[in-house]
Chains A and B, each alone.
Chain A
Amino acid sequence: MKVDLHPRLGLLFNAYLLMFFIHKVQTGVGVVGLPRIVYLDSKHDAWISVFLAGVITGIVIWAMFIMLKQYDSADLYGIQVDIYGRWIGNFLNIVYMIYLSACFFTIFMNYIEIVQVWIFPNLPTWQLSLVLIALSVYAVQGGVRIVIGFAFLGVLGTLWLGAILIVPMKYADTTHLFPILNIDVKHLIKGIYGSSLSMMGFELLMFFYPFIKDKKSTLLYAQIGNLYTTILFTVVTLVSIMFFAEDSLARTIWPVLSMFKIVRLPNLERFEFIAVSFWMLIILPNMSAYLWAASKGFSRVIKMKQKHGIWIIGILGWALAFFVHTRSQMNTVTDYVAKMGFVLAFCYPVMLSAIVLMKKRFMRRKAANAQGS
């Protein structure tokens, strides 16, 4: 397998789209439950944990960029083979493929659970999953530019949902925030870990990198996207802490949707129905991005066409959905994926970039020595 990937010029996309793409893949189903998950660990200082998690994400993105810069135009599949050799490298590639497919699976399964709880209690899972998978397969068939464009439209189409947060602010109680930093470091770090599932998605940068047209400005736009996500998540958490009473935030599974419950328009009694429906526009670009990255592995690792990979993952995901029935099962699956993601998206890329840097330096010295002697 070639380490570097040189796609046709017509397949490349502009770096500024990365800004929307990174933000989009980070904001998915996770943010709906984020305030509660972090609150369980770091109590009313949850917003600090979320903010710090965003800062750490920024550092990881920076490490990824350093690693990618060492190569001309490589993705993670290529880099791993280059570093570890064919056997170990490809094994790790398959681990990543499984992880990306698992993310694809958890995104739509979590969304379907929300739809079933909030709008249609009798809706069979397979119907909605069929629609969602079909749509994302269709998008990914269009290629990388469609996936990126979909993310761009997804951001523009759902930007206004953030403005709705003004309404719950009317019921906010600022005393909930004080005293600031009342939690010990251990719980604060636990909270950071808790927010990592929602922050995930930026690791896709390592797969989309070869398709960026002006690779120099990658870091800038990726960081802008991450910054926006961090600010949005922190504000959402802040508002939730002020809006909910102490114990009720710990009990509310989807605090963001529960906050939308109080929004009331003259001819629309229940705003959360609109919010849940619009959430499909938020998760579909995520699903297609993960599906694209996972299926790319089929053409890079196993000598297969990417097109076939899309179908295999799509059908597999649809079939697997029949095995998950209850909320506790879904929780277990999500927990596993979150743990996997923490290792594969946060810890491992930093480690890998250190190895890549060392290797490059070693090679350079070797080359210099060879020249000198």
Chain B
Amino acid sequence: MLKVRKRIFFTVLILCVLFVPGCVEQKQLEKLGLVTAVGYDLEKKNVIRGTVVVHQFDPMAQNITKMITTTANTSRGLRQGQNLQSNQKLVTGQMRCVIYSKELAKKGVIQLVDALNRDSTVGNMVYLTVADGSAKEIMDIDKTNSKISLGTYLYNLIKQNVESEQILSPTLQEFNHNYYDIGKDPVLPVLKVQNRDVIIKGLALFKDDQYIAELGPKEHFYLKILSDKFNAGTHELGFKRSDFERIRLKKGEHSIRDVYSKLFIDIDSINSHAKLKLIDKKTLKFKVEVKLDSRLLESTEPLDYSNPSSIKFIEKKLNQAMEKDINGLMKYFQKLDVDPVGIGNEYKAHLRGKNLSKKEWREIYKRASFDVQVKNRIVKTGVID
């Protein structure tokens, strides 16, 4: 008798365990609108305008995406307003890209980034970007070009360039890391509309959470070498033709022609390693050592590659040119008072028994000086000599 009662009891218990979890909130895919991209503009004082691109799973719908714009004071307020304009519940689990307008970025974006951090449904690998004009302008592309889904397009645009090492990865995780680190500042890509398409125009330098200046592709290469340990992308360097007179091949067709007044060399760094080192704490002298293993891809004049001494010569010339450029870039950062390379982190690692605040570091940063050393090694020159 007792055994039967016990058995019934445990059956009920197990049924409870099985069915109680079914009571939690259900989310059916057809009833959800997946937000894939969000844009924020500064409408007027205290008011931001938010635009979202929503991916729908409604088989009856004509377009797979939909754009919704509202204004509110906070990003959560925007979400509520957007929900009122949608027949599906908006969820942010598939959010791929967030765009801030330049105007907003100049004023600071941390309050909006903080809302993303607080929300557990937003992933840490969301890309943050800055729009050259307004964010809405970029989101409007979705309307004119209904074949593509803007969220996916932006995601692929950035991902492709990050993977081919053209730009620094601008994920929410990296933004947070660089923002909250005392000795480092974040960088984000700048997007622009060109010929009804979105392109990456450059790189935005941030001081804390405020947009300061934009960096062109050339400087970008150096910033990437300095802040990333892995492979960097292709780079083009210009030289005076007379400098290379010694190793120029006199034979061949295009040696006589004058298409260019300068000599251009393209290198592709396959392996770069940058080392930051504080040499002198008192005079704040930092040593920046960059080692590059690179491939020579192209030169606009036929140069003598077969001779080891001429390769050495090219390497030396490259070193000098790069050192000059990197030095200029560091000076430029110092002038703007931004530290995207993370020199402050290196300084802090040598600071014993004292805590460094961001303000103190900014003061110290102004007095720092840099000794740049570049060591190029050309390991390959292509399939022909």
- Any chain B CB within 8 A of the CB of A118? yes
Q: A75 vs B368: C-alpha distance in the bound complex, in angstroms? A: 65
Query: Is the beta-carbon distance between A258 and B182 smaller than 8 angstroms?
Result: no
Query: Is the beta-carbon distance between A134 and B124 smaller than 8 angstroms?
Result: no
Given A127-B20, A134-B17, A270-B93, CB of A246 within 8 Å of CB of B353 = no
A30 to chain B minimum Cβ distance, whole angstroms, is 20
Task: Give A231-250 as 1s and 0s: 1 = Cβ < 8 Å from B's Cβ atoms.
Answer: 00000000000011111100
Within 8 A of A (CB), among B1-55: 10, 13-14, 16-17, 20-21, 23-25
Q: A264 vs B93: C-alpha distance in the bound complex, in angstroms? A: 13
- Any chain B CB within 8 A of the CB of A175? yes
Query: Is the beta-carbon distance between A178 and B349 smaller than 8 angstroms?
Result: yes
A24 to chain B minimum Cβ distance, whole angstroms, is 21
- Any chain B CB within 8 A of the CB of A98? no
Return the contact of B351 from the options A130, A179, A262 (Cβ within 8 A): A179
A173 — nearest CB in chain B belongs to which residue?
Answer: B345
B183 — nearest CB in chain A belongs to which residue?
Answer: A175
- Any chain B CB within 8 A of the CB of A348? no
Task: Give A262-296 as 1s and 0s: 1 = Cβ < 8 Å from B's Cβ atoms.
Answer: 10100001101000000000000000000000000
- Any chain A CB within 8 A of the CB of B108? no
Return the contact of A246 from the options B14, B123, B180, B350 (Cβ within 8 A): B180
Within 8 A of A (CB), among B181-212: 181-184
Query: Is the beta-carbon distance between B353 and A245 smaller than 8 angstroms?
Result: no
What are the residues of chain A within 8 A of B124 when measuring CB–CB? 258, 261-262
Given A138-B10, A175-B349, A179-B352, CB of A248 within 8 Å of CB of B177 = yes
Query: Is the beta-carbon distance between B179 and A245 smaller than 8 angstroms?
Result: yes
What are the residues of chain A within 8 A of B183 when measuring CB–CB? 175
Given A135-B17, A269-B93, CB of A262 within 8 Å of CB of B173 = yes
Return the contact of B173 from the options A137, A138, A171, A179 (Cβ within 8 A): A171
What are the residues of chain A within 8 A of B353 when measuring CB–CB? 182
What are the residues of chain B within 8 A of A137 when measuring CB–CB? 13
- Any chain A CB within 8 A of the CB of B132? no
Q: A262 vs B350: C-alpha distance in the bound complex, in angstroms? A: 30
- Any chain A CB within 8 A of the CB of B362? no
A139 to chain B minimum Cβ distance, whole angstroms, is 12
- Any chain B CB within 8 A of the CB of A91? no
Q: A65 vs B181: C-alpha distance in the bound complex, in angstroms? A: 45
Within 8 A of B (CB), among A63-106: none
- Any chain B CB within 8 A of the CB of A320? no
* Interface range, A side: 35 or more
B25 — nearest CB in chain A belongs to which residue?
Answer: A122
- Any chain A CB within 8 A of the CB of B176? yes
What are the residues of chain B within 8 A of A130 when measuring CB–CB? 16, 20
Query: Is the beta-carbon distance between B348 and A175 smaller than 8 angstroms?
Result: yes
What are the residues of chain A within 8 A of B93 when measuring CB–CB? 269-270
- Any chain B CB within 8 A of the CB of A123? yes
B118 to chain A minimum Cβ distance, whole angstroms, is 10
Within 8 A of A (CB), among B330-363: 342, 345-346, 348-353
Q: A173 vs B345: C-alpha distance in the bound complex, in angstroms? A: 9
A99 to chain B minimum Cβ distance, whole angstroms, is 27
Given A130-B16, A182-B352, CB of A171 within 8 Å of CB of B25 = no
Query: Is the beta-carbon distance between A118 and B120 smaller than 8 angstroms?
Result: yes
What are the residues of chain B within 8 A of A244 when measuring CB–CB? 177, 180
Return the contact of B24 from the options A123, A248, A270 (Cβ within 8 A): A123
- Any chain B CB within 8 A of the CB of A362? no
- Any chain A CB within 8 A of the CB of B149? no
B219 to chain A minimum Cβ distance, whole angstroms, is 22
What are the residues of chain B within 8 A of A120 when measuring CB–CB? 24-25
Query: Is the beta-carbon distance between B16 and A178 smaller than 8 angstroms?
Result: no
Contacts from B to A (Cβ < 8 Å): 10, 13-14, 16-17, 20-21, 23-25, 93-94, 120, 123-125, 171, 173-174, 176-184, 342, 345-346, 348-353
Further 15 A-B residue pairs, CB within 8 A, beyond A118-B120, A120-B24, A269-B93:
A122-B25, A123-B24, A127-B23, A127-B24, A171-B174, A175-B183, A175-B348, A176-B345, A177-B349, A182-B352, A245-B178, A245-B180, A246-B181, A247-B180, A269-B123
The 6 closest A-B pairs by CB, nearest first: A245-B180, A178-B349, A248-B180, A245-B181, A261-B124, A247-B180
Q: List 22 A-B contacts (CB under 8 A).
A: A122-B24, A127-B21, A130-B20, A131-B21, A135-B17, A138-B10, A138-B14, A171-B177, A173-B181, A173-B342, A176-B345, A179-B349, A243-B177, A245-B177, A245-B179, A261-B125, A261-B173, A262-B124, A262-B125, A264-B125, A269-B123, A270-B93
